[in-house]
A = this chain, B = another copy of it.
Amino acid sequence: MAAARVRSGGRPTLEEVAARAGVGRGTASRVINGSPRVSAQTREAVEAAVAELGYVPNRAARALAGNRTDAIALVVPESETRFFAEPYFSDIVRGVGAALADTEMQLLLTLAGNDRERRRLAQYLTAHRVDGVLLVSVHADDPLPDLLEQLGMPSVISGRRHAAETLPSVDSDNFEGARAAVDHFISRGRRNIATITGRLDVYGAQRRLDGYRKAIATAGLDPDERLIAPADFSEEGGARAMRELLERRPDVDAVFAASDVMAAGARHVLRESGRRIPDDVALIGFDDSAVARHMDPPLTSVRQPIEEMGRTMTRVLLQEIASRSSGDAARERPRIVLPTELVVRESS
């Protein structure tokens, strides 16, 4: 009878498991936490009791007694949720989820708005709510990372804020991705290669521009600054930048846009100007999002391993947490860069 398994409305406690197994509370705890200091026989008895009672440890009690929460937070800037909506968000989450699957860790999702809110957030996160924090899509002047660092909260950042990032970070190889895109143009005979950049206060956007420049220089092409149009990652910004480009260098025959969405804006302007893609102007984007696959013609794009970034960030964070609690104070701060990949479609 099911009723025999539970006391009045409650779920079984450790105490009950211990009683059922005929051992003490401490011993039962040891078994459940996988301590080696238990005899095989006792372990079996406790495990049987756990199974029979359907015992699941009470997280709150554990957290209170053990001074940890077995939870990590994924902090997403609210303003950019839509912006990064595309596959980004769900892919990151899938990666994080995968890395957490075999763990007891829970994932807390936190949408943080403005800077004031983020400052308060640091307080809350530190007040024993989570064991660690995953920071996604952080701006150069975000106060949160530094606050968390000061408060001693294990944290990992996706991308970086700048070249000298102090937090453990997991980034994709924006530089090489951009370079591969431009090299691809060059290998197909393009010579007047332009780029539309993202907001250059975002480190990744800067790196993409660096990669573009490097490829142009390596190929011995003329590094004309008029071929570089700054934008802001938006479709409209991409369109505007493309118009400038056409005006300054009507002979442009290839455009590397630092995001698929900007490429979509550029495509629109190119069409309006009567140019064919890829015949007259080749086009490459960045992100390999759904937009790229469904564009007409399908857009060649630089793929970032988003899901793997999520997985890697999580692994790094778990290590960070583990090393923190085992007292190795002076751990190396990992700074991981994952490779990007050029997905060639019909726009180039």
Residues of A within 8 A of B (CB): 11, 54, 56-64, 69, 74, 78, 81-82, 84-87, 89-91, 93-94, 97, 101, 106-111, 123-124, 126-129, 264, 289-291, 294-296
Contact = CB atoms under 8 A, between A and B. Distances in A.
Please state the number of chain copies in the assembly: 2
Contacts of A74: 109
A290 B86 contact: yes
A52 to B, nearest CB: 14
Contacts of A264: 294
Contacts of A78: 94, 97
23 contacts: A11-B128, A56-B123, A56-B124, A57-B127, A58-B64, A58-B128, A59-B60, A59-B63, A59-B127, A59-B128, A60-B64, A60-B128, A63-B63, A82-B94, A84-B90, A85-B87, A86-B290, A90-B90, A106-B129, A108-B109, A109-B109, A264-B294, A289-B290
A94 B123 contact: no
Contacts of A81: 90, 93-94
A116 to B, nearest CB: 14
Contacts of A108: 106-109
B85 A127 contact: no
Nearest to A291: B294
Contacts of A64: 58, 60-61, 64
Contacts of A294: 264, 291, 294-295
Contacts of A109: 74, 93, 97, 107-109
A12 to B, nearest CB: 10
Contacts of A106: 108, 129
